[in-house]
Amino acid sequence: MLAGVVVLLVGAVSASAVPQDPPPLPSKWTHLFQQEHRDALHWWNHTWLPQTVPSGAVVQIQLPGDPIRWVHDENRKCTPTTPLGLALPILDLFQFVRPEFLGQNKLPDPNRIDGTENIYTFDYRLDGIGVAAICLFPEPRPGTAYEISMPPGTPTDRYVLTLLVGVPQASLPLRRPHEDMGSTPSHDWFGPSRH
Amino acid sequence: MVLNRRGFLGAVGAAAAAGLASSSSGLTDLVLADGGRGAAGEQLRELPFLRSEGGLLDVGLTIHPQRLQIGDREVFVHTYNGMLPGPGLRFRPGDKLRINLINNMLPLGVPLNAPPPACAVRPPEEEDAPPLEPPPHPLECIPEMINHIAEGETVIQMNMTTNIHTHGLQVSPNDPADNIFLKLSPGHSHQYEYEIPDDHPAGLFWYHPHHHGSTTHQSWEGLTAPMIVEGDIDEVPELADIADRTIVLSTLWINQDGSTPSAVIIPTGGQMPFTTVPAVPTEMLFLMNGQLGPEIDIRPGETQRWRVLNSDPHEFMWFEVKDHELYQIGQDGIPFGTPRTVRSIMLPPANRAELVIRGGQPGRYRVIGKAYDQGHPGGARPEKELGTLVVAGPPANGRIPQRLVEPPKMPDLPVAAHREFRFKGDISGRRGLGVRFWIDGVAFDPDRIDTRVRAGTVEEWTWINEDIFQHPIHVHVNPFQVIDVQGISEGDTSWQTDPNIWWDTFRLPPFGRVTIRTYFRPDIPGRNVYPSKTVYHCHILHHEDNGMMGVLLIDPPEGRS
């Protein structure tokens, strides 16, 4: 597992170090997070790892709330979560990226999740290369994690989302450079059609 | 456009041999690459259909990745035979339908933002399961992880496993017919064969993948296609000679590479109703016949027949053409006795409506899916721009039919059984990664028989919704009538509750209940001799994939088992 983390982190740094010219991210291409993305939730079984986002990513966090309110507060301490439950503060090796708070909103959400009435949304922009942590704070602090739609054992003082910033957004299969749409007839992918 | 199989497949083969780029044929573009080539505002394309000959329709469907241009977006998704939607099928009652399905899927849209959540615990299969136990040592999940990989049960593997469901057809659910328990992995094929009953209703049906766990993903890739059973209603004089359009509403959910994300899906509020773990930026494209915002031409006073399917796995389409009345002539493939005049038609996922529309005054009219609160987090889903009706040209004098055909009748039999079903879900994430949906407190288990009935009997089922989500419940191979609906929200005008209408999918009001009456036909080829195993489920496919499906066993008629 540790090897995996090292590979990921080294990969993140290497990938961000390679000269790339990714297309700019339009605002509609938001990375959407909600309560299940909170760091190191109980059901990750100690295998949680932070995910990557590109530099310039717009991030929205949606959390069920009311009567518990969620608050953005830059004055409170917010530190990244160490992956895999390790004591070694491995993320301290990285530069810290400060999230830019863009705004917040609330969506109606009665009867979807027990004990909550609305969805609080918080928007951020992340620029640079390194580790970012975004914290949101429930007020008043709930007595149980259930009240903020979290699994048992989740700390009730905050929602924290740790991200590795500066890795270009990618998925498999990787795009080939200058790949030309339609230049490869579909049937060439697998040989002649069998019907 | 209707092609016979030889002509259709010949066109495909010729196009492939000649090379796509060199062809100037409109058909070639249509078949191989075009999901709406060119700018928005193009003509709604007519879908190509394969038609049965001599009582047989024998087709090959290959699912493979295809790069397509949709408006100004480039997408890279799995398709049937390179087409979006897949090739349409037309046949008649009494025909035999054969489909050779080949799975040539690849891993598309696998996010590289984080390793897959291989050791994360999923929510429990039982609603009343105890709270999560303290986690074991992470190494203890390795044998389970290996087992999942060996069984093809990781998210990435599941999303490449498929089969086919002929939605709405009254056929045998046993192999080689509408067997949705089949698991077709990449590199494999399966030969399906369906006997269409001699008295099968004439109307619009459709086919789509139905492998439990991947139906949502594959639907969001656009794997869907219409089927038309031809028959008596086509001979109604006012319908026989008018333009006959099939309109497939679908949604592509794509990442920035144009592929559908292959990851655990979880709900969100706002414009984008879902995200993934890990989170990736996405976009949803709402399409008509694979096109963004096409134009539909009609002359003033002209009547056209529209067969409209909502194949979206999640979004309700409250279909409306501005300033035009719609004359509905059938629902879910079963014709009405007389047309019903409506201003708009609600199409939850899987529903079909067959309509006649008459062109109004010259002008341009928006075709939309109206905003509607279907229970999803965040409130009403926003209005969707689907296309534009363009009324122009010399006036015509189209007629709306007054009489259609004799619809099927429910047999006058005593109700053999009354049953109740409870539908409930948990989207909180409190008990594991992802969501879970249950029927009667348990998630889908293909090896458990949940409901056992006998062919040749009439039953009444009451579906009780314990959610605010409006679950559209679909019963396979067996239509039904809705005899009672409780719980429709005040002011919600989107409901049709006439007990004479036949459905194969009907939604449950929030915290409401619906009672259906159904007749398990004893005369379906294959079903009259052997027990038939099939399913009923929520057609918000994200709910089905996460458990909201039950197994139905239909025993042969009394004296035949």
Please state the ipTM of this predicted complex.
Answer: 0.90
Q: Decide if domain B2-109+156-231 falls under CATH 2.60.40.420.
A: yes
Query: So where are chain A's domains?
Result: 25-170
**Architecture of the CATH domain A25-170:** Sandwich (2.60)
Looking at the partner chain, which of A43, A47, A112 has a beta carbon nearest the beta carbon of B432? A43
**Architecture of the CATH domain B415-555:** Sandwich (2.60)
* pLDDT score for B515: 98
Contacts of B9 in chain A (CB under 8 A): 195
Give A130's pLDDT tier (boundaries 50, 70, 90).
very high
A contact residues 82-111, partner B, Cβ 8 Å cutoff: 84, 107-111
CB distance A59 to A103 below 8 Å: no
B contact residues 311-350, partner A, Cβ 8 Å cutoff: none
What CA–CA distances, in Å, run from B387 to A44, B34, B72?
44, 17, 16
B contact residues 248-267, partner A, Cβ 8 Å cutoff: 255-257, 259, 261-262, 266-267
Residue B374 has pLDDT above 60, yes or no: yes
Give A83's pLDDT tier (boundaries 50, 70, 90).
confident
**Residue A36 in contact with partner chain B when CB distance is under 8 A:** yes
Residue A18 has pLDDT above 70, yes or no: no
Query: So where are chain B's domains?
Result: 2-109+156-231, 247-391, 415-555
Whether the domain at B2-109+156-231 and the domain at B247-391 fall into the same CATH topology: yes
- Pairwise CB contact (< 8 Å): B270 & A185: no
Q: Return the higher-pLDDT residue of B66 and B12.
A: B66
Structure tokens at A186: 């579909």
Residue A9 has pLDDT above 60, yes or no: no
| Domain B247-391, CATH | 2.60.40.420
**Residue B310 in contact with partner chain A when CB distance is under 8 A:** no
- Pairwise CB contact (< 8 Å): B114 & A50: yes
Greatest alpha-carbon span in chain B: 76
Residue B85 has pLDDT above 80, yes or no: yes
**Residue B150 in contact with partner chain A when CB distance is under 8 A:** no
Residue A46 has pLDDT above 80, yes or no: yes
> In the predicted model, what is the mean pLDDT of residues B329-343?
98
Residue B4 has pLDDT above 70, yes or no: no
Give B561's pLDDT tier (boundaries 50, 70, 90).
low
Give A113's pLDDT tier (boundaries 50, 70, 90).
very high
Give B156's pLDDT tier (boundaries 50, 70, 90).
very high
Q: At A98, which amino acid appears?
A: R
Q: What is the model's pTM? A: 0.90
Give B134's pLDDT tier (boundaries 50, 70, 90).
low
Distance from CA of B252 to the nearest CA of A (A): 15
Residue A52 has pLDDT above 80, yes or no: yes
Looking at the partner chain, which of B65, B432, B468 has a beta carbon nearest the beta carbon of A112? B468
B contact residues 422-451, partner A, Cβ 8 Å cutoff: 427-434
**Residue A191 in contact with partner chain B when CB distance is under 8 A:** no
Residue B22 has pLDDT above 60, yes or no: no
> In the predicted model, what is the mean pLDDT of residues A171-175?
79
Find the range with the poorest average confidence among A107-121, B28-42, B187-201: B28-42
Residue B1 has pLDDT above 80, yes or no: no
> In the predicted model, what is the mean pLDDT of residues B208-232?
98
- Pairwise CB contact (< 8 Å): B275 & A32: yes
| Dihedral angle of Cα B287, B502, B239, B51, to the nearest 10 degrees | 70
